């Protein structure tokens, strides 16, 4: 785990999407293999990689997740963010959110309306739960979100790097 960060870790989002597409077959096979393996050891392995990779990168240099993903915004998120903004929850919904095809609230426009020019989040302390948990590579029972991890590798350079290290380590 002490290896230097893979050169692709902070690549620009457009290149990351191309690299993720090129690696999709290998990463899909990896996810299938990991799902069939010892899931008790998987959390420890992925969490160690998560720590190693995220200790070497600065998410503020990228913010691709904030530019390209529409996180689910729960009712609890609406109440918390509206209170922070000192507006009524209904006003927050009307101004910032739309309902997606699954019946979930998401931001009406991308990039995130709270993404500032320096890639910081204007509501960081009250950001939606989905944002706080992204990219999910440090969550317990990682085997439950391996398919999501594969999808996130096209958006997050750190997730791509984690999959690459898992693939190379066998």
Percent of the chain surpassing pLDDT 70: 93
Is the pLDDT assigned to residue 3 strictly greater than 70? no
- List the chain domain ranges: 13-66+135-169, 70-133
pLDDT at 10: 63
Contact criterion met (CB below 8 Å) for 110 and 142: no
The alpha carbons of the chain give a radius of gyration, in whole angstroms, of 17
Is the pLDDT assigned to residue 67 strictly greater than 70? yes
pLDDT at 4: 43
Is the pLDDT assigned to residue 142 strictly greater than 50? yes
Does the bond joining 126 to the residue before it have cis omega, within 30 degrees of 0? no
Which residues, at least 6 apart from 19, have a Cβ–Cβ distance to it below 8 Å?
8, 11, 160
pLDDT at 125: 97
pLDDT digits (tens, 9 = 90+) for 146-164: 999 999 999 999 999 999 9
Q: What is the mean pLDDT of residues 101-119?
A: 97
Residue 71's closest CA among 168, 167, 155?
155
φ and ψ at 107, to 5 degrees?
-65, 140
Is the pLDDT assigned to residue 31 strictly greater than 70? yes
């Amino acid at each position: 785990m002490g290896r230097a960060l893979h050169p692709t870790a902070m690549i620009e989002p457009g290149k990351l999407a191309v690299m993720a597409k090129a690696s999709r077959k290998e990463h899909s096979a990896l996810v299938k293999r990991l799902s069939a393996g010892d899931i008790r050891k998987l959390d420890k392995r992925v969490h160690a990689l998560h720590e190693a990779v995220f200790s070497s990168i600065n998410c503020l240099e990228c913010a691709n997740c904030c530019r390209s993903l529409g996180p689910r915004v729960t009712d609890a998120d609406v109440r918390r963010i509206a209170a922070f903004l000192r507006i009524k929850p209904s006003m927050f919904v009307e101004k910032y959110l739309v309902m997606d095809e699954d019946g979930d609230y998401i931001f009406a426009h991308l990039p995130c309306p709270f993404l500032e020019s320096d890639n910081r989040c204007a509501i960081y302390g009250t950001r939606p739960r989905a944002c706080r948990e992204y990219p999910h590579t440090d969550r317990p029972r990682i085997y439950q979100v391996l398919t999501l991890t594969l999808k996130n590798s096209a958006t997050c350079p750190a997730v791509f790097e984690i999959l690459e290290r898992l693939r190379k380590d066998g």
